[in-house]
Structure 1
Amino acid sequence: MSFPHVLRRSLKLTKPILILGGRGKTGSRVAERLEARGLPVRLASRSTGFDWTDRSTWAAALTGAGSAYITYYPDIAIKGAAEAIGDITELALSLGVKRLVLLSGRGEPEAQRAEQQLLATSADWTVVRASWFNQNFDEGQFLEMMLGGEVALPVDTVREPFVDCDDIADVVTAALTDDRHIGQLYEVTGPRLLTFAEVVAEINQANGSNVTFRTMPAHEFLDSLAGSEMPEEIAGLLEELFSEVLDGRNESLADGVQRVLGRQPKDVTDYAREAAAKGAWRQA
């Protein structure tokens, strides 16, 4: 079934829409879209006192909200995420927050466990299960490598259907504002399967740069993480993703963007052109 991007059967949105991770890649974009529609938004992140590792901070964020977009920090793939999602879902329901949209990840066992924690409750849920973000190259873990002139990762010919955060935000916004998406699980991907090296090449073409890609041995990658200033939780996440998830299990396209928005997802070529035009890799 196709869901055109219109607000028929809209939910009654008189209470704030809570965005857990409101400063993140997708959360900030969802907030912009909701605010552009004149809808009440509440952001929750470490800067506002919300902390996934401190359950005593959760109730303040949830109290009085009408619905919530849940993104887990640093990533829903890490151990312990499923229990946290289950606990915050139960707390949300006890506080009258029944409409919940969860950002999940493709091919990640802990992410799927977290989904099941949500689905087992009485929440009006939607799950948005995403592949690797395009924006990891200009807003995330790989930006420093891009600016340094070499992206070195323990991955070679494995292909990913890289998805754009703008598409994710459009899907999440639709889910939060239209009750036809209740009880739906949407897998969202980009329109093509690409290797990491091919994404770097696309960025070079758009940016006029000459960043190289190198397949790094796994032991060298782990050593580099251990010697970096990267937060421990991010380093552990990357180790798990590159050692387990990037084994080809996600080498397929999904139609979540098309089903929700009635259009094709953004291609990496267009992402690279837009980000380059904004000066994302000016130093590269």
Structure 2
Amino acid sequence: MADGGPPREARRMTHTDTTRTHTTNAPGTVLVLGGTGKTGRRVVARLRELGVEARVASRSGDTPFDWSAPATWQPALDGADAVYIVGPEESPSPTPAFVEQAVASGVRKLVLLSARGADVPGYFADAVGAQHRESEAAVRSSGVAWTILRPGWFAQNFSEGVFLDGVRAGELALPTSDGTAAFIDAEDIAAVAVAALTEDGHDGEVYELSGRRALGIADVLDEIAKATGVRAAYVPVEPSAYRAELVAQGISEEEAAVWTEALEPIRTSREAPLKDGVRRALGRAPRDFSDFVRDAAAKGAWA
């Protein structure tokens, strides 16, 4: 606790979802880093549905926050009881310094968005893997309650992320061969994050998160086409050709290499095995990819 003062009183409430009724122990204020991003904005929405004050922090959010500008950290932390951490993919990571400052400011709970394979040597490019390991180590040694989330590739990359333009253009060229991945719905990630932030029983847990089925890129595009009529062809390319195309589009050699290596776990199907984190955290199965497609289509993702 900051300055040795009394802890802020946690509010108790009962929350009912489709699978169970449970008592939560919600913090007064949750600082949500990356609060306008894929998982962050969904975390904010769910917290507010529960009546929990969610502080949206990002470079473009209500609360200015920039990982590269430490002067923005303390104003964002003031009065926060818990933090949802989405760190930058760089090494050395600024997350350890932020965690130290958060604990000194009185934060009592940390929920870290890490990544599938963070504990597996060689799963990521060196800098990305090191960032996740450094961030996880900082949270584990923080001295306050913590939970780590390790999701695989997001389903939302096809509806609001890096694959969307290819889907809309009718051709998605990726160096993923016939590999598969159990794409996770960001709604599930947010649901687990909010459970960890507001409920008892999640402290010290590492939740490996995957979707319900493993799909290849062609399978994904087929599901989107069946639901929406928007048809896109999957064009498998070699990693070297993909990297060269990114550079030709103006991306740096270093960033192009990182992006290409990030897709390697799909190409080799290391993202395919199903994980039980959603069920352990929420008491239900993950949302199916078809659920994601239906909801994204209803919101006009591919219109």
TM-score, with structure 2 as normaliser: 0.83
Distance 2:236 2:268 in 1: 14
Larger RCO (alpha carbons 8 Å, 6+ apart)? 1
**1:11 partner amino acid:** N
Q: 1:53 to 1:159 in 2, by over 3 A?
A: same
Match of residue 42 from structure 1: 55
**2:235 partner amino acid:** R
Is 1:11 paired with 2:38?
Answer: no
Is the Cα–Cα contact under 8 Å of residues 191 and 264 in structure 1 kept in the other structure? Answer: yes
Rg larger for: 2
**1:200 partner amino acid:** L
**1:25 partner amino acid:** K
Pairwise CA RMSD: 2.2
Match of residue 264 from structure 1: 285
Is the Cα–Cα contact under 8 Å of residues 19 and 68 in structure 1 kept in the other structure? Answer: yes
Match of residue 116 from structure 2: 106
TM-score, with structure 1 as normaliser: 0.89
More deviation in 111-120 or 17-26?
111-120
Is 1:32 paired with 2:45?
Answer: yes
DSSP-derived class of the 1:105 partner: coil
Given candidates 226, 237, 252, the residue that maps to 2:247 is: 226
> What are the residue-to-residue correspondences of 1:52-201 with 2, within 5 Å?
52-73=67-88, 78-80=89-91, 83-108=93-118, 109-110=129-130, 111-201=132-222
Distance 1:31 1:100 in 2: 15
Distance 1:211 1:27 in 2: 29
Is the Cα–Cα contact under 8 Å of residues 7 and 177 in structure 1 kept in the other structure? Answer: no
**1:99 partner amino acid:** K
CA offsets 1:51-103 (integer angstroms, 9 cap, x no match):
11222221111121010101124xxxx3316x322111111111111200001
Distance 2:66 2:261 in 1: 23
Matched residues, number: 273
Q: 1:210 to 1:117 in 2, by over 3 A?
A: same
Match of residue 7 from structure 2: none
CA offsets 1:95-139 (integer angstroms, 9 cap, x no match):
111200001111143324421221122121001110110000011
Distance 1:268 1:121 in 2: 36
The runs of 5 or more residues in structure 1 that have no matched partner are: none
Q: Of Structure 1 and Structure 2, which has the larger fraction of its residues in strand?
A: 2
Match of residue 124 from structure 2: none
- Cα shift at 1:32: 0.5
**2:106 partner amino acid:** G
Distance 2:214 2:174 in 1: 18
Distance 1:233 1:163 in 2: 27
What is the identity percentage for the equivalent residue pairs of Structure 1 and Structure 2?
Answer: 40
Is the Cα–Cα contact under 8 Å of residues 150 and 214 in structure 1 kept in the other structure? Answer: yes
